[in-house]
Amino acid sequence: MPEVNHNQDISFHTDEETVREKYISQRKQFWDDIADYPKDKAAWGKFYRKRITTIYRHLVGPGLGVLELGCGKGELLASLGPGYGVGLDLSGKMIDWARSNYPELVFHQSDAHGPLPEGNFDVVVLSDLINDLWDVQTVLERARSSISDDGRLIINFHSHLWSPALTFARKSKLAKPNLPQNWLTMDDVVNLLNLSGFEPVRCWREVLWPLPGSVFDFTFNRVLSRFWPFKNFCLANFIVARPKPRNRSDDLPVSIVVPARNEAGNIEGIIQRLPEMGRYVELIFVEGGSTDRTYEAIEKAIPLHPERKISLYRQPGKGKADAVRLGFEKASGEILMILDADLSVPPEDLVRFLNAIRQGDGEFINGVRLVYPMEKQAMRFLNFLGNKFFSSAFSWLLGQPTKDTLCGTKVLNRKNYERIVAGRSYFGDFDPFGDFDLIFGAAKLNLKSVDLPIRYRERTYGDTNISRWRHGWLLLKMLWVGLKRLKFI
């Protein structure tokens, strides 16, 4: 067996550290010099940063705990209005400037490869940083230790398709100079995230036109950049990721809200077929002005099932959304579910929804009726075509697969529902169904959405409460709201 030259190993390790230290030192000096770069120069870079800031303000709500790695002068971090904001940067001059201009925030001169501030930050930001790092995976692993289990990591970095244009811009003083960069693609970063304990939630591209001009900004950056083939030519790659789920509790209480209007014949079936789940199951009926004595049918059924935890309410307003909101307001469980009273989705399938959210497969679980063959009268043909159209439109709009927007069965935890409620004013009270209130709210919060296929059954009692033409028109209006508030920002 050949002898191992330990001195050679030590020498190699020392050389590696020396090269790394030289790399970091060179960049520290470079960014110190950039701190003094005249503000009246780099007009291209100024507009680019303004656009990037707009996008981050859409992604990160005010009042959160935010950690930014490579914060520079702290301008992006300050613009987010964090409740608790911490910025780290390699450049001492950048940090001095940030401290003097944003005393309400905390700034540290620090290398992102080293230990990061402890704490469960809601958001960790890496804006135009990863292409400048010595070891991207190490920094991502460090970031994982600073982020809460429900937090989000947001990364943006340049597409190298723009390298020639950026080189020209820097030589022309339209953009700040830069040192040689890593050559990372979107797929490379997604792979590194998976290796570092993160799961990507959304990946997309921004900034098709990085120069001033309001007309060009709207046309190119807010509209054309959303469509193929234009989106492939954007300057900035964006990724939102979440920490991979850790151990989840198997013993959470479950609240199931059942909006019921003219469903008297289905009440007993719902109660009998509902599976036992979690610590306990709470069944909440919200009756909505029925003409077939549905309220009385529920009232009569409750004492016949003392083994069940059942409550009954009359909804004060109209529409399914009003009923769901009342039910969730009264719920005591940590997991919130919606089940339509028509039994077109089998109550037994709710176990699958619970498992998906308990195991961390997703944070917003949406039922899908359009995968398995349906029973003959389960969905009228025009309704089926409409759902197909809207599933494609909303998948594109939300940046995550959303195959069936109007399936009534949806599941999320209480904390995320309360966050959706807190941000409801961003969209306004526009949704009589309640489905899009949840779908849009989950998308705005960058929740991991998962489609769960179920078999859709034919009604055995009563008629559908959906009007295909009137409600189809409302769906188009909701799509327009989503375009304005989520896509064309």
Domains in the chain, please, with CATH?
Answer: 13-243 (3.40.50.150), 254-487 (3.90.550.10)
Asked if pLDDT for residue 430 goes beyond 80, the answer is: no
CA distance 344 to 341: 8
* Per-residue model confidence (pLDDT) at position 196: 96
Give the burial class of 120: count Cβ atoms within 10 A of its Cβ; 0-12 exposed, 13-18 middle, 19 or more buried: exposed
0.85 surpassed by pTM: yes
* Per-residue model confidence (pLDDT) at position 11: 47
* Per-residue model confidence (pLDDT) at position 407: 85
Give the burial class of 250: count Cβ atoms within 10 A of its Cβ; 0-12 exposed, 13-18 middle, 19 or more buried: exposed
Asked if pLDDT for residue 265 goes beyond 90, the answer is: yes
* Per-residue model confidence (pLDDT) at position 486: 94
Residue 371 binned pLDDT confidence (cut-offs 50, 70, 90): low
Highest mean pLDDT range out of 25-29, 152-156, 340-344? 152-156
Asked if pLDDT for residue 474 goes beyond 80, the answer is: no
* Residue 454 CB neighbour total at 10 angstroms: 21
Q: How confident is the prediction for the chain on average, in pLDDT?
A: 88
Instruction: Kindly state the average pLDDT of the residues 160-170.
Output: 83
Amino acid at 187: D
Mean pLDDT is lowest, of 127-131, 159-163, 240-244, for 159-163
Q: Contact 280/307 with Cβ under 8 angstroms?
A: no
Mean pLDDT is lowest, of 110-119, 330-339, 363-372, for 363-372
* Per-residue model confidence (pLDDT) at position 2: 42
Amino acid at 14: T
Residue burial 150-186, b: 16+ Cβ < 10 Å; e: rest: bbbbbbbbbbeebeeebeebbeeebbeeeeebeebeb
Mean pLDDT is lowest, of 179-183, 219-223, 299-303, for 179-183
* Residue 108 CB neighbour total at 10 angstroms: 14
Instruction: Kindly state the average pLDDT of the residues 303-311.
Output: 96
Phi then psi dihedrals of residue 201, to 5 deg: -105, -45
SS3 85: strand
SS3 101: helix
Residue 9 binned pLDDT confidence (cut-offs 50, 70, 90): very low
Instruction: Kindly state the average pLDDT of the residues 355-379.
Output: 78
